[in-house]
Structure 1
C-alpha cells in the first residue's frame, strides 16, 4: 500500500469548470475512450466508453454542489445503462481533495483531478477512502487469516503485534471492519504481504428505491414490455428499460417525448440523442403525438403514439426503429 504524503501543490490545476471539462475530455480521448458532447444542466456532464467501461461523469470545481436529486437520477440512469457514475472535482468547501483518496457524495464516488489522471493514464486505482472519522482502507480478510495461520499466530498474538484488539483482527478477517491506513501498513509489515484492496470506481449502482418506473403516461411502451424511467436532469425525457422476461433481445431506449417543442429545439435534441446513443449502445427515438408524417429527425427515428398501438411487442418496435434509422 502506498503511503499518502503531504498535499500536492494545486497551482497548476484548472480553476474553472469549463477548463476541467476540457482537460478531462482530452485525457479520456488520449487514452482510448470515446467521449460524448458536454451537456449543460444535466445530472451528468459527459459520457465516456472504453470497451466494457462506461462512465457517466459529473465535473465540479466544488463537489459540494452535487445535489441529492442529481445523485438519485444519475444512479437510475447508470443502473439502466450498466454504467458507472463518477464525480471529479477540485475541492470541498475550502479544502482541496487529496490525491488517491475516494470521497463520497450521496452514494456516488468523488475523486480529485490527480486521482482521475492516475486512474485513466496509469490504471492506478486508489485504495484510501474518506469516511466519518477519517481515512480508511478495505483489507482482504481471507489473506490476513491465511498468513496468520501460516505464521502460527493466534488472533491475540497478531493483535498484540499490531497494537489493536483481538476483536479487531477477527473483524478484519471476517470482513466486518475497515482499517485505518496506518494499521494496514503495520499489518503488511508483520505479514510481509499486501493486504489492502483497491476501491472499485467502476461499479454499477443498484436501482434507486424511488425510481419512477412504469408511469401511466408511457403506457404504449409498457404494453410492449418496457419499464419507463422518467428523467428530469438528462438530455432526454425518459429511459425505456426492457423487461428481461418479455424483451430478451431489446436494448434500452433513450427517448424524447411529445412536449409541443418547435422544430429547432427538436433538431438540437436529436443531435444529443444520437450522440449519447452511439456511446451507450442504446436505441434513440422520438415518441410524438403529432399526425404529421415524420419518420426521423437528424437520423433519430420518430414513432407516433397511434403507430405504437398497432405494434404487438418490443421486437416490432425495434424493427420499426431500425427501418426508420436506416432510411
Structure 2
C-alpha cells in the first residue's frame, strides 16, 4: 500500500450564528482537508482547523507544512505504519495541526486497510461518547442563561461555560446559569487563561461555598503558568483541567510531574495527532489522571477522529466535541452521528466518511 499522491484542499462552512471566543467572532469555519491516495485504491481523509492564537498555525502555514510532509512520505509503504509516522513527525518541527491532518488520513487508510472502524483499531472501549454543550461568553448575561437552559431542554447533561474576561461578572454568570438549569446538570467552567492564580482560587472558593456543583475549571491561568495552575489545584476542592498548558507529551509530562492538574484536555490539533494524543493519555492514565478530548472549530472529519480516540479509551470523562452543532450545513457525508448529546461512532472502516461536498483543491 504505497502512498502515491497527496492532495490538499479547503472547505468553508457557514455557522448558524456567530461563534464568539475571547479572541474574536467567527461566522464561518475554514478547514484544510487532506486526501491521501494509495496504490491499492484506498483513499484516506484528514483535516486541520487553523487556530493561529492557539496553535500558531494559519491556513497558509498548514498547507505549506503539508506540502513539505507530502514530499517526504510519498512513495512510502503504509504497511510500515510506524515508519511512515516517524518520517512525517521528524521531517518538520512543530506544525502540529498540519501533522494531525496527515496523520488522521494515515490512520483512516490503515483502519480501512484492516477493514475496521478507527475507534476499534485504537482500542474500541466504547462505541459512543457523550459531549457537553459550550455556552459562549457574552456581555449580556441573559443570552448565556437562555442558551444554557435551551441546551438542557435538548438533553445536554453537561454545560461548559466560556469565561475569563472579568472575575466578578464571571461569578455572576455561573451563579445565574446554575439557578436556571436543572440541578442534576453538571457545569464546567473554562477560564480561558483569564485569571491570576489568586483570583482563580477566590472565584472557585466562592462557587464552592454556594454549592454551584462545578464539575471542573479548565485552564484558569496563562498556559505557561504551570506553578500557578498547581497553586490553584492545591487550594481548591474543584478539579482543575490543563488545556493550553499541555500541547504535546513533554508539556503533559511536566504538569503530571508537578501534580499541577486533576485532568488533561487532549486536542488532536494541539498535540499533532492520534499517536501523540495516545502518549499523553498513557502517561496520564499511569499516574491516575483522567483525560478529556476537546476540539477547535472543526468539521465532522476532525470530530470523528477525536471521538474515535475518546471512545477507544477507558479513562476518559465526557468529551467536549460539540462544534459541528453550530454549522448551518454539514458538507461531510458519513462519519459520526449525533443523538442528542451522544456521539455515535460509525461502524464502517476508518472514519466512515464517504464524501466531502464543496471541497476546493489548493494543491
Task: Report the TM range for the smaller structure's normalisation.
Answer: under 0.3
User: Which protein, 1 or 2, shows the higher relative CO under an 8 Å CA cutoff with sep ≥ 6?
Assistant: 2
Who wins on radius of gyration, i.e. which is larger?
A: 1
TM-score, normalised relative to structure 1: 0.25
TM-score, normalised relative to structure 2: 0.23
